[in-house]
Amino acid sequence: MSFRGRSTEQLVRIAAAGGGMRSSAVGRSTDDLVRIAAAASTGGARLFLSGMSGRPIDDVIKVAAAGRGAVVFESKRTAGRSVPNSQHVYEVRPRKDKRGFDLISDVLPFGRLWYLEVSDAIGYAEHPSRSHRAVIRVYDEASKVIETHEQAGDFKEWYDNIMQSPSAEEQSLTLVEDFVHELTDAIQSLSGKRPDTLRANYRLWSSKHLYHAAGGFAFLRRSQLVDASKFLVRPAIEMMIRLEAARQHPDLFYRIAHSEHLQDKHLLRIAGRQELQARSDKIWERFNDAFAKEFPTISIPNVDDRLTIEYLAEKAELKPFYDSHYRIYSRYTHGALHASTGNLDEATDPEDNRIIAICALVSLDNLVSLGAKSPTHDRLVQRLSAV
């Protein structure tokens, strides 16, 4: 039963009468929470309270002291978890781009997740399904089932493992920080080495852009500014898509550059900066000539059609990632109601760090292909597979 719309007085009466409840601290003062906690203690009820992570520690202690053991503080991730009777069904299918496997299920927050190894996909499916009956089917490239894994739900085992295991948030955030450190060293290893082609330069600067996004994300996350960190996820995904599209398709690299040139002209025209418009046109002429020289066998592509991130994702074989993660995190960027009210946080919180780590890996792979050194690359990939 939800108590979201109940007044403080009503909750005090319910708790004092011995009624246990699960409620949120959002929108209630510390004094109100102290009253509810004290009533729960008096009535012998249990109060599961979420939404306290942003409160000063002294306020948390006041509520805990008033409850005298009756209050259980919950995180967004664990709040409201119960033992459902439904069966979880998962599919593990090889990706068309030959880069790992997709774990697909209606119970996943984004519909599908990307893994490098089948065992890692199975392991992820088994973990959140400890409290459910679950079926995991593994398919080959011909869409034939080659493995089936079944398990009976055991809530006690699942709950004990959640309570006793190290924080998944801490593990995945540490991985992001380690990626940032590796990217720092990789970029420094390229010091004094200037790429000699247009596309190599684009890949270098785009990889640095992803590096800065990952670094900013890690700083905000480590500073407990989780909500603020989410605003960096969508730009990182978009840069990853652009980078992979340009790496795989020289014609798309040209179209990306032309699209940005048109945007520059539009902004300069609005600002009335004619001298800068003329300079921008000259830069584009040099780019056009250099592209033709670098890719003599590639015809200048049709630039009349509007270039979209969705199209780039499809060409980079990242369309499933676009349909799930990019669309979800765009709602934070655009200030959608569900994002602003925190209704998306339960689905995105467990994914934030993993997505940034994936973007950081794409950045690192591009830097390595440009000659950067990355001694712990393979180990980071293994850790990412286990997240």
Largest CA distance in the chain: 81
Q: What is the pLDDT of residue 176?
A: 95
* Sign for the pseudo-dihedral over CA of 170, 175, 179, 185: positive
| Burial of 141 per CB tally in 10 Å (0-12, 13-18, 19+) | exposed
Give the mean model confidence (pLDDT) for residues 17-28.
79
Task: Please check the confidence at residue 161 and state whether its pLDDT lies above 70.
Answer: no
Cβ atoms of 214 and 183 closer than 8 Å: yes
pLDDT for res 123: 78
pLDDT of residue 90: 87
For residue 236, pLDDT over 90 is answered with yes
Other CB atoms within 10 Å distance of the CB of residue 265 = 15
1, pLDDT greater than 80? no
For the segment 167-176, the average pLDDT, to the nearest whole number, is 87
pLDDT, residue 115, reads 80
Q: In Å, how far are 81, 325, 386 from 103, measured between CA atoms?
A: 22, 14, 14
Instruction: Establish how many alpha carbons lie within 13 A of residue 307's alpha carbon, considering only the half-sphere containing its beta carbon.
Output: 24
Which of 81, 85, 63 lies closest to 72, judged by CA?
63
So what's the pLDDT on residue 127?
A: 61
Q: Where are the domains of the chain?
A: 8-74, 87-163, 166-386
* pLDDT range class, residue 159, cuts 50, 70, 90: very low
User: What's the pLDDT score for residue 188?
Assistant: 94
Please determine, for residue 28, whether its predicted confidence score (pLDDT) is greater than 70.
yes
Mean pLDDT score across all residues of the chain: 83
For residue 380, the model assigns a pLDDT of: 92
Question: What does the alpha-carbon distance between residue 29 and residue 56 come to, in Å, rounded to a whole number?
Answer: 12
Q: Is the confidence at residue 79, as pLDDT, over 70?
A: no
Coil vs helix vs strand at 265: helix
Residue 99's alpha-carbon distances to 106, 318, 377, in angstroms, are 22, 10, 17
Average pLDDT over residues 263-276: 86
Runs of H (alpha helix) within the chain: 8-16, 30-43, 57-67, 118-126, 155-164, 168-189, 198-222, 226-229, 233-248, 250-271, 274-294, 309-315, 319-321, 327-333, 337-340, 345-369, 377-386
pLDDT at 80: 46
Q: How confident is the model at residue 310 (pLDDT cuts 50, 70, 90)?
A: very high
Could you give the CA distance from residue 38 to residue 96 in angstroms, rounded to a whole number? Answer: 58
The pLDDT score that the predictor gives to residue 358 is: 94
Average pLDDT of the residues in 99-105: 85
What would the two tokens of residue 313 be? 């994702």
In total, the chain counts a number of residues equal to 387
Q: Is the pLDDT of residue 362 over 90?
A: yes
Residue 341: what pLDDT? 85
Terminal C-alpha separation, the chain: 33
CA angle 21, 130, 51 (to 5 degrees): 35
pLDDT band per the 50, 70, 90 thresholds, residue 41: confident
Give the DSSP letter string of 23-38: EE-TT--HHHHHHHHH
> Can you give the pLDDT at residue 128?
52
In the chain, what percentage of residues exceed pLDDT 70?
87
Residue 77 is predicted with a pLDDT of: 43
More confident residue, 305 or 193: 193
Burial of 11 (0-12, 13-18, 19+ CB in 10 A): buried
Give the per-residue pLDDT at 156.
47
Least confident of 37-46, 84-93, 348-357: 84-93
Where does the pLDDT of residue 64 fall: very low under 50, low under 70, confident under 90, or very high at 90 and above? Answer: confident
Contact 71, 63 (CB under 8 A): yes
Average confidence (pLDDT) over 27-41: 88
pTM over 0.75: no
pLDDT, tens digit (0-9, with 9 covering 90-100), for 103-137 = 888 766 556 777 888 887 887 777 654 456 788 99
For residues 225 and 223, what is the distance between their CA atoms, to the nearest angstrom?
A: 5
Of 109, 113, 110, 84, the C-alpha closest to 101 is 113
Residue pair 199/322 in contact by the 8 Å Cβ criterion: no
